Amino acid sequence: MTARPKLVLENVSMTFQSDGKPFTALAPVDLEIPAGKFISLIGPSGCGKSTIFNIVAGLQPPSTGRVLIDGEDATGLIGRVGYMLQKDLLLPWRNVLDNVALGMEIRGVSMKEARARAMPLLERYGLGGFEYRYPGSLSGGMRQRAALLRTLLVDQDVVLLDEPFGALDAQTKSRMQEWLLQLFNDFGRTVVFVTHDVEEAVFLSDEIYVMASRPGRVIEKLPVDLPRPRDRAIVSTPRFVAMKKYCLDLLHMAEPADDLAA
């Protein structure tokens, strides 16, 4: 079965001029991401994960290369993928419902219809009863849920998630991961996920790209052949533990020695 990949990065790289010297934030990268898969990027800070996201989202032009979505050139085009940044970035003057509806509203959907579409999903995905609350009165987990629903409701096939659970406590984080898997099953989107947390990456993904820094680059692609649906018990299976160890070893090698000395 050779379906056309959903998202392709062709020879994408990013070079800055800093202090007159060229600095490579991202060495040329080629990625092919099949439709409906959950992909994670892991790596040390400064490995260019966020740069890849900014380029795919059209927020930063790459120095070389191009981005293809469904085979079409989407380099430098905004609004072609759903992008969730690290912070939830909910608007404090809008209630949860209107925050979730923001993406559709920007697409030109009338406010009334956007609300009508968002309402049942809030109910279904754990924000029922919070529709008219303001972000200031929500817990971190609830805010992330709202932010993620906002991203998913824009009807983009590709969704980029930049460490969405990075700031959550361990318990909330594991609940949110299960919640995200449920969403992933229901919506059937192609997800690209950035994380520092190896266990999170193995638990959620179909494929993991391990990255290294200086210059930022992809060093290995690992398929995760654990059966779906996955539940929490899987984390203690030998297969899972072996995957996790392998990833950690790769990351350890990727880390330049002077980082550890510092």
Partner 1 sequence: MATKTTSLPPTRSLFTVLSLFGASDDKGRPIRKLPVRTLWSNWIIALVQLSILVTIVAGWELGATFGLIDKFFWSQPSAIFKTGVIFFTEGDAFTDIAFTFRSTLFGFFLGTTSGALLGMSFWWSRNYARIVQPYVICLESMPKLALAPLIIMVFGMGLASKVAIATALTLVVSTLTAWSGVQAVDRDQEKLFYSLGASRFQVFSKLIIPACIPWIISILRVNIGLALTGAIVGEFVSSQHGLGRTIIYAGQTYEIALVWVAVFVLSALSMVMYAAVAWLETVLRKGINQ
Closest CA to 159 of 129, 191, 206, 195: 191
Work out the widest C-alpha separation in the chain, in whole angstroms.
Answer: 57
DSSP 88: -
Asked if 166 interacts with partner 1 (CB under 8 A), we say: no
Strands 158-162 and 82-84: parallel
Separation between Cα atoms, residue 63 and residue 45, nearest integer Å: 20
- From the list 27, 35, 121, 154, which residue makes contact with partner 1 (rule: CB under 8 A)? 154
Do the beta carbons of residue 26 and residue 51 sit within 8 Å?
yes
Comparing CB distances to partner 1, the nearer of 127 and 212 is 127
DSSP 5: P
Asked if 111 interacts with partner 1 (CB under 8 A), we say: no
Where does this chain touch partner 1 (CB under 8 A) — which range of 22-30, 67-75, 95-103, 234-242?
A: 95-103
The least distance separating partner 1 from the CB of residue 104, rounded to whole angstroms, comes to 9
Do the beta carbons of residue 119 and residue 137 sit within 8 Å?
no
Separation between Cα atoms, residue 218 and residue 47, nearest integer Å: 8
- From the list 14, 41, 57, 114, which residue makes contact with partner 1 (rule: CB under 8 A)? 57
Asked if 193 interacts with partner 1 (CB under 8 A), we say: no
- From the list 79, 140, 166, 215, which residue makes contact with partner 1 (rule: CB under 8 A)? 79
The least distance separating partner 1 from the CB of residue 88, rounded to whole angstroms, comes to 10
Residues that bind partner 1 (CB under 8 A): 57-59, 78-83, 85, 87, 89, 91-93, 95, 102-103, 105-107, 134, 136, 154
